[in-house]
Amino acid sequence: MNRGKWTFIAMAAALSLPIIAHTQEPAKTPPAQDPTRHIISPEPAKQDQPKKQVRTRLTSKQKDEALKLILSRQGDSKDLLMKATDLTINIGKLAASGKLPQDQEAMKLMKDMVETLQEIQDRLKKIDEEIEDIKGWIEGQNENLPILGSDVADLKRSKWGNYIQFQYRDTDQLNGQTDAFAFRRIRLGLTQTIDPRTSIKVSFDLAQNATGLSNNTAAQLRDAFLTYDIEPSDVAIGLQATAGQVPMPLGYELERSSSEREFPERAQYNRIMFDGERGRGISLKKGLGANAVAQLGVWNALTFNDTETRDVTGSTANRLGVTGGLRYFTNKLDMGVSGFWSSRPPRQAGYTGATQTRVFSEDIDNRHFYYADLNYVGLFLPGLFLRAEGMVGFDRVPLAINATTTGTTNSGVSSATDRRLTGKDMAGWQVMLGYNIDARNTLSFRYEQFDPDLDRQSNLFTGYGASYIYYINPNARLQVAHEVFEDAARRNIVGTADDKRYGVTTVRLQFKF
């Protein structure tokens, strides 16, 4: 009976090899209960619902520790498997020797080896369960990562771009703006990503008034447009469409944010001829390789804040215009050419009291502008930069709309032959040289000209000045600028001398948030 018993035990031990090897595979039995695992079941009554466990993403340290633990357990398992294999072989040899029934020492040795083999098998099973528990813990920790990733993606979809500019402005310009503290801009902007191809941007300025000046707290819509990548590209612009109220793609200054410029205001020709800097329409941008892009757009004839279109819903006289341009850029150089072809409809600009007739401006059906610009960073020195822009065109300086229809008193432009009513060749340009002294300090110099009527003398506008910017931190800066302007077109002001030359000093604080 004893011989049969131990022979059976030996055979069972020999047959245990595949069982032991099997313990290296994932356990087929349910693992130990893990409170982080979700169990799909009917929703329990409200009072029975377990508290939600808060999971956080595994840190690199946690991942390394978990991996080390798994590798350590796998190493232990391998060592035990080798011992079990040796024991099984020895049991087989002992069973084949024929000593078991008679030799008590052999019987005791067989018993010890079988017990040791059972202990090894139990330890292997425990190690396997520990490995599964570690894997389950990792899975539980990462279980919410898709949800967490979705939450993070939702947060990244919304990007705020807000800033405030508070300033003190001082000038000796007669009948000019008041020397005072004022908010120049209070800009609130949001860019929302709808999907990987589509985004929208909306921004408002809360430091505007009805005429576009900035010493008030009225709200004005600035940006409102949708951008869609028709042909997405990871390395360059593919084919991109934009629709809405957008900065006009002319030159470089109109599209540049007021929060980034080196000088307090844009050049005079841009401020007058493209008031508000933004047009309403649709445009396409097409990448021409990694360093060039072409642009084509259709717009309302006038910018949204043009003096002659502020009282109109839509486009004045239903007129439209077209833009086109090419731009080339590298790490240091950015240069482009662009053009705008449109019209300026006639509007009432005055009233003649003697004849009781209204005075209208000319219908300019061949209004056009051509721009060329260049930006170069690292000119001779790493921190030295050059910006230049030039414009030639045909238009008239926008006139204030006059609504007088009766009476004997002149109003606005009272002569139908006044040259201000007609279109004229005009030109403007600016050049800026700046130096980034270090990460916090920038010094810039600018010279600009604007001639609204190239065929006549005594109307040239010039300006020159210096600007210093100190970056308090990446989101705050202090700007001090002084500029001198000379406007040959300014007439004598009653009771004063000519005020063709005047200076403007601006001290401005800007905060982004």
Average pLDDT score over the chain:
82
| pLDDT at 260 > cutoff 70 | yes
pLDDT at residue 44, as a whole number: 38
Query: Higher pLDDT residue, 106 or 10?
Result: 106
User: If you search the block for the tokens 């245990």, which residue do you land on?
Assistant: 16
pLDDT at residue 513, as a whole number: 92
Q: Which residues pair with 79 in a beta bridge?
A: none
| pLDDT at 88 > cutoff 90 | no
User: Quick one: tokens of 116?
Assistant: 């040791």
Highest mean pLDDT among 112-126, 243-257, 497-511: 243-257
Percent of the chain having pLDDT more than 70? 74
Summarised one tens digit per residue, pLDDT across range 418-434 is: 999 999 999 999 999 99
Q: Three-state SS for 121?
A: helix
Work out the average pLDDT over 362-390: 97
Q: Which residues pair with 344 in a beta bridge?
A: 364
| pLDDT at 58 > cutoff 70 | no
DSSP of 365-419, one letter per residue?
Answer: EEEEEEEEEEEEE-SSSTTEEEEEEEEEEEE----------SSSS-EES--TT-G
Domain covering 158-512, topology: Porin (2.40.160)
Work out the average pLDDT over 135-157: 63
Q: Domain map of the chain by residue range?
A: 2-25+58-143, 158-512
Q: Are 296 and 323 in contact (CB under 8 A)?
A: yes
Query: Higher pLDDT residue, 288 or 88?
Result: 288
User: Quick one: tokens of 487?
Assistant: 């406007």
Query: Higher pLDDT residue, 20 or 391?
Result: 391
pLDDT at residue 298, as a whole number: 98
pLDDT at residue 38, as a whole number: 35
